[in-house]
Amino acid sequence: MELYNLTIHELHEKLQKKEITSLQLTEAFLKRIEAVDGKIKAYITVTKEDSIKQAKEADKRLASGKDITPLTGVPISVKDIFCTNGVRTTCASKILNNFVPPYDAAVIKKLKDAGAVILGKNNMDEFAMGSSTENSAYFVTKNPWDVERVPGGSSGGSAASVAAGECTASIGTDTGGSIRQPASCCGIVGLKPTYGRVSRYGMIAFASSLDQAGPMTKDVTDCAIMMNTMAGYDPQDSTSIDAPVPDYTKALTKDVKGLKIGIPKEYFIKGLDSDVEKAVKDAIEVLKKQGASVVDISLPHTDYAIAVYYLVATAEASSNLARFDGVKFGHRAKDSKNLLDMYCKTRDEGFGPEVKRRIMLGTYSLSAGYYDAYYKKASQVRTLIKRDFEEVFKKCGVILTPTAPTPAFKIGEKTADPLTMYLSDIFTISCNLAGIPGLSLPCGFTKDNLPIGLQILGKPLDEETVLKTAYSYEQATEWHKKRAGVEN
């Protein structure tokens, strides 16, 4: 297989055996990006010089034989929502077109410390608001399996860069499905960890009570490897959980004997694509054969999830995005008459239509007189959704569902109707509202050769059982070995 199609663990072995250097590998990826990114458009910024410098450092570390991690010398990409010291960070918005952070986000620092080489910053929906990467202020990323289709979103550039072999792995963020849905659309593995498991420090905020960073990888083993580096307590993030980080690779056993898998009836509904439904049901059979048992469950408040999400997330976004006013950083409008005029012009020029829509929705639901009816009510129903999961997890260890109701849709298909677009996340949003971990992995292809994602939800801080279930299924199937085959 071509180097650009290999996983972290495969490349780690080659680096350790000195079959290849990190510099050679990094140069190969830079060449690959040059060859295919014109077609895929997964990167907003490619950090060529920095990555070569990091690769040389990694080679020294590998030569010394000391302090080597499975990521040392391995080229990855990162969503353009993570602050990177000295490297432009746009969040795919015009308002941050010229923003160069003076520090690294906590996860970026951890990845760099582990010796990973960062190739560049991936395209996304502006401020992570979207499900197709069509809301980027710069350009649309294409799905490597069919360039007429979206890669999903908002971490669409990250997912596409992994699927197209423009990096080994990537990191994304997930507020309502933005890691799992693009992973599903692009045929890769994506994990949204438990809320608080990974530090949010230096990750540009969309909805702070829901946002969580996680790995996007070619297989489950790589996902566990990335988690070992990314997870952990961080005093710089007040919602970070102070719990020990297990070695996630130890969970990669195929032992699902006795595991109870919950199948929620609310996730197998009208509108679910028939190929998707079949693939997910087949996946359940695979796990049954391996010794897991199935219990039918109900998550009765599922119907309210989208409504609750679009009140809570927009309220938090309207508050978080107030900081972009042209004063301290980012774009500032020219020729303003006074301060207020400068604020208004800056925000009008800097934000795209979806971001403006969310700010208006959120400001409305938080305003005096409406707060009780909207934001407060939504927070209460959110608690009911969380309780649904608490109840169900008394009966099962994990929950299996489709990740998205359909495979990747056509570019432009849903842009005219925001509500239809919002429904793309119908199966992923409850997980964020409840704060639990959720993983998507490939479980088949449609008749048109589009990837299908299987979602595994777990108990809070029980990423290990989620990974174990995913690994067990993956090792019994061949889906993770398929590549999109984007030609040089």
Catalytic positions are 79, 154, 178
Residues with Cβ < 8 Å from 38, sequence gap 6 or more?
Answer: none
128 binds ligand GLN (CB under 6 A): yes
Selected binder of ligand GLN within 101, 177, 362, 407 (CB under 6 A) = 177
By beta-carbon proximity to ligand GLN, the closer residue of 130 and 262 is: 130
By beta-carbon proximity to ligand GLN, the closer residue of 177 and 187 is: 177
CB of 18 to ligand GLN, least distance (A): 41
CB of 440 to ligand GLN, least distance (A): 12
Size of the site for ligand GLN (CB under 6 A): 13
172 binds ligand GLN (CB under 6 A): no
The 406-445 contact track toward ligand GLN, x by CB under 6 A, reads: -------------------x--------------------
Selected binder of ligand GLN within 122, 154, 440, 455 (CB under 6 A) = 154
Selected binder of ligand GLN within 54, 175, 184, 365 (CB under 6 A) = 175
**Segment interacting with ligand GLN (CB under 6 A) among 170-178, 233-241, 360-368, 443-451:** 170-178
Instruction: Identify the DSSP state of 87.
Output: B
CA separation, residue 256 to residues 224, 230, 261, 426 (Å): 17, 26, 10, 28
- Closest residue by Cα to residue 318 from 359, 268, 354, 280: 359
CA separation, residue 234 to residues 46, 109, 239 (Å): 28, 12, 9
168 binds ligand GLN (CB under 6 A): no
123 within 8 A of 157, measured Cβ to Cβ? yes
Residues 296-315 that bind ligand GLN (CB under 6 A): 313
Residues 202-261 that bind ligand GLN (CB under 6 A): 206
**Which residue has tokens 């991936």?**
122
- Two structure tokens written together for 114: 């582990």
**Which residue has tokens 């410390």?**
113
CB of 261 to ligand GLN, least distance (A): 25
- How far apart CA 440 and CA 242 sit, in angstroms, is 26
By beta-carbon proximity to ligand GLN, the closer residue of 174 and 325 is: 174
Q: 3-state class of 474 per DSSP?
A: helix
By beta-carbon proximity to ligand GLN, the closer residue of 177 and 193 is: 177
178 binds ligand GLN (CB under 6 A): yes
CB of 313 to ligand GLN, least distance (A): 6
- How far apart CA 308 and CA 240 sit, in angstroms, is 23
CB of 190 to ligand GLN, least distance (A): 11
By beta-carbon proximity to ligand GLN, the closer residue of 157 and 176 is: 176
- Two structure tokens written together for 297: 């469950």
Residues 312-351 that bind ligand GLN (CB under 6 A): 313
**Segment interacting with ligand GLN (CB under 6 A) among 141-149, 172-180, 407-415, 467-475:** 172-180
129 binds ligand GLN (CB under 6 A): yes
- Two structure tokens written together for 283: 């996946």
By beta-carbon proximity to ligand GLN, the closer residue of 129 and 486 is: 129
Q: 3-state class of 294 per DSSP?
A: strand
Instruction: Write b or e for each residue in 419-430: b if 16 or more Cβ atoms lie within 10 A of its Cβ, otherwise e.
Output: eebbbbbbbbbb
- Closest residue by Cα to residue 263 from 387, 401, 393: 401
Selected binder of ligand GLN within 157, 176, 202, 350 (CB under 6 A) = 176
Instruction: Identify the DSSP state of 21.
Output: -
Q: How close are the terminal C-alpha atoms of the chain, in Å?
A: 14
By beta-carbon proximity to ligand GLN, the closer residue of 70 and 407 is: 407
By beta-carbon proximity to ligand GLN, the closer residue of 206 and 248 is: 206
Q: What dihedral angle (degrees, nearest 10) is formed by the CA atoms of 452, 458, 461, 462?
A: -100
Instruction: Write b or e for each residue in 171-183: b if 16 or more Cβ atoms lie within 10 A of its Cβ, otherwise e.
Output: bbbbbbbbbbbbb
CB of 430 to ligand GLN, least distance (A): 12
For binding to ligand GLN (CB under 6 A), which residues are involved?
A: 128-131, 154, 174-178, 206, 313, 425
